[in-house]
């Protein structure tokens, strides 16, 4: 992960496997064998699709962090 990259953090305790994230950004989000969301690292969709996925989560389980020279900076959350 390098400067400018977007890091996706998924709260697996909150995730209920509804799948909205994988609809909005299908190349990045998927459900694992436990029915919880996982995200590719690095993301494989554009930033707008990733942001839509975070905003679509009904459980507010997706946080996005922009990696800067100063370190990880919160970009957006679904709250
Ligand atoms: S939209 Fe939220 S609750 Fe649904 S699978 Fe994705 S992370 Fe989990």
What separation in Å is there between the alpha carbon of 25 and the centre of ligand 1?
11
Q: Atom 8 (ligand 1): residue with closest C-alpha? A: 15
Spatial CA neighbour of 65 closest among 3, 9, 2 = 9
Q: What is the pLDDT of residue 70?
A: 83
pLDDT in tens, 8-64: 999 999 999 999 999 999 999 999 999 999 999 989 999 999 999 999 999 999 999
Structural domain spans, the chain = 6-77
Looking at domain 6-77, its CATH architecture is 2-Layer Sandwich (3.30)
CA 47 from chain center: how many Å? 10
Q: What is the pLDDT of residue 72?
A: 79
First to last CA, the chain: 25
What separation in Å is there between the alpha carbon of 18 and the centre of ligand 1?
5
Q: Is 11 in the pocket of ligand 1 (CB under 6 A)?
A: no
């Amino acid at each position: 992960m390098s400067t400018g990259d977007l890091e996706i953090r998924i709260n697996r305790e909150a995730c209920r496997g509804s799948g909205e994230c994988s609809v909005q950004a299908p190349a990045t989000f998927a459900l694992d064998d436990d029915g919880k969301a996982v995200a590719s690292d690095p993301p494989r969709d554009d930033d707008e699709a990733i942001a839509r996925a975070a905003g679509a989560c009904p459980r507010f389980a997706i946080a996005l962090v922009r990696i800067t020279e100063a370190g990880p900076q919160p970009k957006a959350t679904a709250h």
